[in-house]
């Protein structure tokens, strides 16, 4: 018995661990508990009904035996046979004669029936109750009337049959429990799904709608806290960008003065090194200002452009300067976007490809959902797979492929990534199988 219970609990535990979602786990637990409670209630009802039916059957049997034996005892022997059909019931009948030979061993139910027949017959009529074995075991009570005639009461014990509508009612109740459990779990999980979606689309600098602060008090309080957290993050980001922009802007004036003073100095190796260092510092400051402005790339007024023609014009500008920038597959695609921000994104990506690969290829494609992808490819050394995401962060530099002489402030890709998010797009980097890097800007 202990092993069976342990096995049942183990199987139940496996059932709970199979579904990975919280929704299914709560549903299984809630439905199992309700179904078990319903089963216990149904079992208790059936047990109480069985006991009541058994008590009523034994009471009826006792009274019926008393009446039938008294009637048969007072009837003339020749008339007793006509009354047997009248006295017959669903679970017992009367026979004239000694009946079948049986065994005296009686079970619990047989003993209860024997006591009821003995009580019904009374002390004036001797009764012997025996069990009749066979394919359908039953009991026979042998009663001797006052004139010595034997009468047999043949009893076939049977429970009161269940009503035909009871299984249908049980099935309907289980279906109702299942539906109520599913609705309860769905109502409980829905706020979590809303929070998960809000967290995935969290963009403090964007214009996404705030999380609705309604529903039960606990959910409304959590939504209020989430919106407050989002506002604090947005404030921190705005403050960080503002500080960066202020520092970068204020550094431009002293750098310009230092450059003028160095240029007025006598020519020599030290002058050239100082001018080169000041040029790098000035470029870093300009990139810092550009990055700070890229965080507010959504302030530009959107305009409708032909993406193919727009990308071709950028490539032609580079070609006019003698840069190896090629274009392929330029379909006619009209898109509403912020042209200046998109131009800055593409020029940063092209400059990055020219710097580390010496050439760049541009391509515009459209997928089945209507989104437009602008791809900038090169045949350079690429980026290690474990650093593809890190290079989109500001001031992150790949020391293996960049140095102070070849340039690289660590802000070019970060500015492109920031601007892509600001105009409602995305920037994805991946290495090409044949070698080189593929930067894809997805819009629409």
Structure tokens at 387: 């650093």
Dihedral (C-alpha) 222, 224, 227, 228: value to the nearest 10 degrees? Answer: -110
Please tell me the predicted confidence (pLDDT) of residue 403.
43
The helix/strand/coil state of 48 is helix
Q: What is the mean pLDDT of residues 101-105?
A: 76
d(CA 371, CA 424): 12
Per-residue pLDDT, averaged over 354-383, amounts to 86
Which of 51-60, 77-86, 409-418 is predicted most confidently?
Answer: 77-86
Q: Looking at residues 262-284, what average pLDDT do you find? A: 77
Query: From the DSSP assignment, how many helices (H) and strands (E) are in the chain?
Result: 10, 11
pLDDT digits (tens, 9 = 90+) for 24-77: 777 788 888 888 887 888 788 778 877 787 777 777 777 888 888 888 888 888
pLDDT confidence of residue 376: 92
Burial classification of residue 167, based on how many CB atoms lie within 10 Å of its CB (0-12 exposed, 13-18 middle, 19 or more buried): exposed
Q: What is the pTM of this model?
A: 0.47
Please state the rounded mean pLDDT for residues 252-258: 78
CATH class of 299-443: alpha beta
Q: What is the pLDDT of residues 146-190, one digit of tens each?
A: 888 888 888 877 766 667 777 788 888 888 888 888 888 887 778
- What is the secondary structure of 112-178 as a DSSP string? HHHHHHHHHH-TTS-EEEEEE-SSS-EEEEEEE-TTS-EEEEEE---PPPPPTHHHHHHHHHHHHHH
Q: In whole angstroms, give the CA distance from residue 406 to residue 86.
A: 117
Instruction: Provide the pLDDT for residue 400.
Output: 47
**77 DSSP assignment:** G
Q: Which residues contact 310 (CB under 8 A, 6 or more apart)?
A: 339, 342, 343
Is the confidence at residue 199, as pLDDT, over 50? Answer: yes
pLDDT tens, position by position, 229-241? 888 887 777 777 7
Q: Which long-range contacts (CB under 8 A, 24 or more apart) does 61-67 make?
A: 61/92, 61/113, 61/116, 61/117, 61/120, 61/155, 62/116, 62/117, 62/119, 62/120, 63/120, 64/89, 64/120, 65/116, 65/117, 65/120, 65/121, 65/141, 65/153, 66/120, 66/121, 66/122
Helices marked H in 201-216 — which ranges? Answer: none
**Cα–Cα distance, 242 to 58 (Å, whole number):** 93
290 pLDDT band (50/70/90 cuts)?
low
Among 352, 347, 438, 348, which residue's Cα sits nearest to residue 398?
A: 352
pLDDT level of residue 402 (50, 70, 90 thresholds): very low
The tokens 């009570």 sit on which residue? Answer: 141
Query: Is the pLDDT assigned to residue 206 strictly greater than 70?
Result: no
249 or 373: which leads in pLDDT = 373
261-268 average pLDDT score: 77
Percent of the chain at pLDDT > 90 equals 3
Cα separation, 297 vs 282, in Å, equals 22
Could you tell me the residue ranges of all domains in the chain? 1-200, 201-295, 299-443
CB atoms within 10 A of CB 404: 10
* pLDDT, tens only, 425-441: 889 899 988 888 999 99
| Segment 292-321 mean pLDDT | 79
- At residue 401 the predicted structure's pLDDT band, cuts being 50, 70 and 90, is very low
Angle at 249 between CA 244 and CA 255, to 5 degrees: 120
The least confident of 134-148, 281-295, 421-435 is 281-295
Statement: residue 19 has pLDDT above 70: no
8 A C-beta contact, residue 392 and residue 427 = yes
DSSP 386: G
Structure tokens at 57: 């059957």
Contacts of 289 (CB under 8 A, 6+ apart): 245, 248, 249, 252
- Report the run of H or E that residue 94 belongs to, with start and end: strand 92-96
Mean pLDDT, rounded, of the chain = 78
More confident of the two residues 70 and 368 = 70
Confidence of residue 222 (pLDDT cuts 50, 70, 90): confident
Residue 110 has pLDDT above 70, yes or no: yes
Higher pLDDT, 156 or 8: 156
Please state which CATH class domain 201-295 belongs to: mainly alpha
Rounded to whole angstroms, how far apart are CA atoms 188 and 183? Answer: 9
For residues 411 and 291, the answer to whether their CB atoms sit within 8 Å is yes
Rg (CA), the chain: 46
**383, 429 contact by CB (below 8 A):** yes
């Amino acid at each position: 018995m202990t092993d069976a219970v342990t096995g049942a609990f183990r199987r139940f535990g496996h059932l709970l661990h199979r579904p990975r979602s919280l929704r299914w786990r709560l549903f299984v637990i809630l439905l199992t508990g309700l179904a078990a409670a319903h089963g216990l209630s149904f079992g208790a009802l059936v047990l109480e009904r069985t006991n009541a039916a058994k008590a009523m059957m034994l009471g009826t049997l006792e009274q019926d035996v008393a009446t039938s034996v008294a009637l048969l005892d007072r009837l003339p022997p020749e008339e007793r046979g006509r009354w047997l059909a009248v006295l017959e019931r669903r679970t017992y009948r009367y026979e004239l004669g000694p009946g079948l030979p049986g065994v005296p061993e009686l079970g619990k139910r047989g003993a209860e029936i024997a006591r009821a027949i003995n009580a019904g017959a009374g002390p004036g009529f001797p009764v012997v109750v025996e069990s009749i074995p066979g394919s359908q075991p039953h009991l026979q009570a042998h009663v001797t009337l006052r004139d010595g005639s034997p009468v047999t009461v043949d009893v076939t014990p049977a429970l009161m049959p269940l009503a035909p509508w009871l299984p249908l009612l049980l099935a309907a109740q289980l279906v109702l429990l299942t539906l109520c459990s599913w609705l309860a779990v769905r109502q409980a999980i829905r706020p979590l799904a809303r929070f998960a979606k809000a967290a995935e689309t969290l963009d403090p600098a964007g214009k996404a709608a705030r999380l609705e602060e309604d529903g039960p008090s606990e959910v409304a309080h959590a939504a209020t806290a989430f919106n407050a957290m989002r506002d604090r993050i947005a404030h921190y980001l705005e403050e960080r960008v503002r500080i960066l922009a202020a520092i970068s802007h204020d550094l431009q004036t002293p750098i310009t003065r230092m450059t003028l003073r160095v240029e007025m100095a006598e020519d020599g190796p030290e002058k050239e090194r100082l001018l080169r260092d000041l040029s790098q510092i000035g470029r870093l400051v300009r990139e810092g200002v550009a990055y700070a402005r890229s965080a507010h790339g959504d302030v530009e007024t959107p305009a409708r452009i032909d993406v193919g023609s727009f990308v071709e014009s950028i490539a032609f500008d580079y070609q006019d300067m003698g840069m190896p920038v090629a274009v392929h597959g330029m379909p006619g695609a009209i898109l509403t976007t912020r042209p200046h921000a998109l131009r800055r994104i593409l020029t940063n990506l092209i400059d990055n490809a020219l710097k580390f690969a010496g050439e760049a290829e541009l391509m515009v494609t459209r997928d089945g959902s209507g989104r437009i992808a602008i791809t900038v490819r090169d045949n350079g050394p690429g980026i290690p797979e474990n650093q593809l995401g890190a290079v989109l962060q500001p001031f992150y530099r790949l020391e293996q492929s960049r140095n102070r002489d070849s340039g690289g402030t660590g802000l070019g890709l970060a500015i492109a990534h920031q601007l892509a998010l600001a105009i409602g797009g995305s920037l994805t980097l991946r290495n090409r199988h044949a070698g080189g890097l593929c930067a894809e800007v997805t819009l629409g």
